[in-house]
Amino acid sequence: MGMTIAEKILAIHAGRESVSPKEIVDARIDYVMMNDVTGLPAFEVFEEFRTTPISEKSVLIQDHYVPNKDVASAEQAKAMREFARKYNINNHFDVGRGGVCHQIMIEHGFAAPGRLIVGADSHTCSYGALGALSTGIGSSEAASAMATGELWFRVPETQKFVIDGKPGKYVMGKDMILYIIGDIGVSGSLYRSMEFYGSAIESLSLSDRITISNMAIEAGAKCGIIPPDDKVFNYLKNRVIGEYSPVYADSDSEYEDTFEYDASEIKPMVAMPHLPENTIPASEIDVQIDQAYLGSCTNGRIEDLRVAAAILKGKKVHPDVRMIVVPASKNVFLQALREGLVEIFMDADAYVAGPTCGACLGGYMGVLAEGERCISSTNRNFIGRMGHKDSYVYLANPAVVAASAITGQITDPEDLEVGRT
């Protein structure tokens, strides 16, 4: 019997010829990543191993509270700096040198096809867009991975998702994954590996694929993997660290379930509070907003900023709305400056900030007050996710976020074009 992508990657890293779903295997990891929030508890556990970390496999990224917002976050950041210095960990991305952790892992060539990567952050599954098996772990597990270079895994069952057809003008990867989560629910892929196929998936930019893999965790998945192609290989040229070997599913691999969708039926979607499964086409919602947020590891790449800027150019953010734009990395910010996107955003009266996770997790900068509503390009809309427990977060793609910022209510960009707002 053949193997799926996740099964093959785990077999290779476990030194096995084959593995089967539900098996427990010990596997060699390629990289382990921690951020400023998850790092401190990992460092405390690591010291109990009384060894030195495998520094070339360890990546430390300051991103959640960047710059530090209070004494507690400053202490977390300090602990990471001290740990990096103590153990000579060169892969440390401090304030002003990096950005949101998942964007940095991809930009700087850590993520690549066939690799097994773990991170002390749930959205580590993002790297599946490049054909890696990547997944979130706890801080204690991260400490173990740093110390031993290995970790145990339960081999996940695999589900196959096929999206064929031509997507609409303003339909992005965000809409495809929201559509899927709306269909199967937030537990529909619990501890499964989600594999994505079809002509619509193949047509997507790498940026949109990252969005899909990023939100696999919102369906409960262990990982979300897209088979690598020339778009991935071209992106990795002169970028990737070391060698890599692409992995593909066997023709006779066995899937637990197969789901098929027609891209032409997918519209710009919105996930209403308080779960990503509460999806509905943006055109069917009549909700006033107080804030529009564009950024995060889900939709803060240059492609996302270009889409939003094209809609905002020559227009103004609604006077009752505050719009916050946060590029996902220093490199994205610089590219946005070179292309004139930052000027477009600021001319529209949007607030543009340096790379940080802050607002996405309700940490700071964009925290919502009681009763406020935000249309957001982030990945979660749980109760209190971006602020007060009685605030409301609506998830959408960058085009919907930009259109809504202009009108002051959740808006399908197609409706904005023809004046139906």
Q: pLDDT for 93-138, tens place per residue?
A: 999 999 999 999 999 999 999 999 999 999 999 999 999 999 999 9
Which residues does the chain have with pLDDT short of 50?
Answer: none
Give the model's pLDDT for residue 358.
83
CB 139 within 8 A of CB 46: no
In three-state secondary structure terms, 88 is coil
Q: Which two tokens stand for residue 111?
A: 């993520």
Give the model's pLDDT for residue 364.
84
CA dihedral 234, 240, 244, 248 (to 10 degrees): -50
| Residue 97 neighbours by CB distance under 10 Å | 12
Q: From the CA atom positions of the chain, what is the Rg in Å?
A: 21
Give the model's pLDDT for residue 268.
98
Q: How many residues does the chain have?
A: 421
Q: Please report the domains of the chain, with CATH numbers, ordered by start residue.
A: 5-238+253-261 (3.30.499.10), 270-418 (3.30.499.10)
Give the model's pLDDT for residue 418.
61
Give the model's pLDDT for residue 419.
60
Q: Which two tokens stand for residue 137?
A: 């772990």
Give the model's pLDDT for residue 32.
98
264's CB contacts (< 8 A; 6+ apart) are 165, 166, 167, 168
Q: Which two tokens stand for residue 165?
A: 């057809």
Give the model's pLDDT for residue 176.
98
pLDDT in tens, 351-382: 999 999 988 888 888 999 999 999 999 999 99
